[in-house]
Amino acid sequence: MVLTKEYTTSPPTFKHLTPYERGKICALLKEGFSPTQIAKKLGRHRSTIYREIKRGTTTQLRTDLTTYSTYFPETGQVV
C-alpha cells in the first residue's frame, strides 16, 4: 500500500494593490465615482476597494480647526 498526498485545496490567488491602482482609486474618488464603479473599472472585487479606502482614509485638520476625512494612496500603501 502506497500513501500519496492529495491536496484538496488550491493555493490562494490574491495579489496586492499596486501603487498605480491606489493612485487610480484616489483620482476616481475625487471625480465622484462610487467604490463599486471603481472596482469595475479596476477589475477588482468591491470589498477590496472598500477595505483600501478604509485603510487609506485619514482625518485632516483645516486652518479653521474643523476636521475632514480624505483618502491618501500613500497612507494605504504604508498601512
Work out the average pLDDT over 57-75: 94
What length is written for the chain?
79
**Rounded CA separation 23/29 (Å):** 10
Q: Which residues, other chains included, contact 22 with Cβ-Cβ below 8 Å and sequence gap of 6+?
A: 52, 56, 73, 76, 77
Q: At what angle do helices 19-31 and 35-42 cross, to 10 degrees?
A: 140
15-64 tens-digit pLDDT: 899 999 999 999 999 999 999 999 999 999 999 999 999 999 999 999 99
Joined grid coordinates for residue 76: 494605504
Radius of gyration of the chain (CA): 19
